[in-house]
Structure 1
Amino acid sequence: MSNSYIDVVEQAISLLDDISLADYQEVLSPHFSSSVGAHIRHIVDHFTALKDSFSSGEVNYNKRTRHSEIEKSPESALEACQDINKWLHDICSNQLLNQNVKVTSEIDISHTKSVECESTLERELVFVASHAIHHYALVRIIRNMQGKALPEFFGFAPATITHLTRSA
């Protein structure tokens, strides 16, 4: 098992180590309706839903903590990401990734409708890591608009990084 899931969370930790409170909370409207903090909170919510499901075997991605301290405070977000990072180290080193989970998520944009399906912990880790990278791409644009640089491949999908490095 690679440390790929851990690496994704460590990207957030690196970002949180180097962002001001003002930049974390700033909403650059009309281009964005969410701050960096809102994106990080959303990422943390998904990882936390998966982490919290570990003992019950039931993941509910509909449970979110909108407007929580994680969204407002880079320090709170950093603490949550470090907790997720520790959990990932534990489960990845203990070979628990094949554990079955039942996933609940809303899927209908016109009506309130959730579906339940079977999955595995690792498949859901693939989802939450990919989902995080998607949000990192948006965070990358926000930080660029704030005049701040991020690491070269922050917000890039792994397959895109592979393509770019092989094409170089």
Structure 2
Amino acid sequence: MPNSYTDVVNQAISLLDDLSNNEYQTLITPHFASSIGAHIRHIIDHFLALQDGLAKGHINYNVRHRHNQTEKFVDIAVQALHDINQWLSNLDEAICQQTILVTSEIDISHTKSSTCSSTLERELVFVSSHAIHHYALIRIMCSMQNISVPDFFGYAPATITHINRSA
């Protein structure tokens, strides 16, 4: 299994290694309604939905662990991210190509979910891209708190490739 997905998770671990619980929990109102911790918990929830869904044969992104300790404490989040990396490291190509059902809420005005077929590989692409999107928001939150972030934190892989080719 390529390490691209673990690289994405490792970006969060690298950031969190230097963050205090206070910085992790800070709400930067009115600009953000969620803390860095809430964004990291949200990312972890998506990876866990994927992991749980693989075991059950049906990924349901609507079932998440909102407002838990992962959102409040850096060390708990880092451990959850290490656990996710361990899971990712044990995946093989055959499992990644398996078809799996995916359910996600799709309507902003009403409660409505859609279920479709996908593969674990496609969903790994989704949760990794989703994480990077949240990293971009976290990057701004860190900047507003004068916290430095790792190079390319919150940048899409294609953007990093473009920057490196243009240099």
TM range (shorter): over 0.9
Larger mean Cα displacement after TM superposition, 39-48 or 95-104: 95-104
1:1-150 correspondence to structure 2 within 5 Å:
1-92=1-92, 95-150=94-149
SS at match of 2:118: strand
Give the number of equivalent residue pairs. 167
Q: What does the per-residue CA deviation read over 1:125-149, in whole Å, with 9 as the maximum and x for residues that have no partner?
A: 0000000000000000001111011
* In structure 1, C-alpha distance between the alignment counterparts of 2:139 and 2:62, rounded to whole Å: 25
Q: What does the per-residue CA deviation read over 1:101-156, in whole Å, with 9 as the maximum and x for residues that have no partner?
A: 10000000110000000000000000000000000000000011110111120000
* In structure 1, C-alpha distance between the alignment counterparts of 2:150 and 2:29, rounded to whole Å: 24
1:95 positional shift: 4.1
Aligned AA (2:85): N
Unaligned regions of 5+ residues in structure 2, if any? none
- Asked whether the equivalents of residues 61 and 103 of structure 2 are also in contact (C-alpha less than 8 Å), the reply is yes
Aligned AA (2:117): E
* In structure 1, C-alpha distance between the alignment counterparts of 2:151 and 2:71, rounded to whole Å: 25
- Asked whether the equivalents of residues 37 and 74 of structure 2 are also in contact (C-alpha less than 8 Å), the reply is yes
* In structure 1, C-alpha distance between the alignment counterparts of 2:91 and 2:14, rounded to whole Å: 22
Unaligned regions of 5+ residues in structure 1, if any? none
Aligned AA (2:57): G
1:162 and 2:161 equivalent? yes
* In structure 1, C-alpha distance between the alignment counterparts of 2:56 and 2:64, rounded to whole Å: 18
SS at match of 1:148: coil
Flag as ranges the 4+ runs of structure 1 deviating above 4 A. none
* In structure 1, C-alpha distance between the alignment counterparts of 2:38 and 2:31, rounded to whole Å: 15
Aligned AA (1:159): A
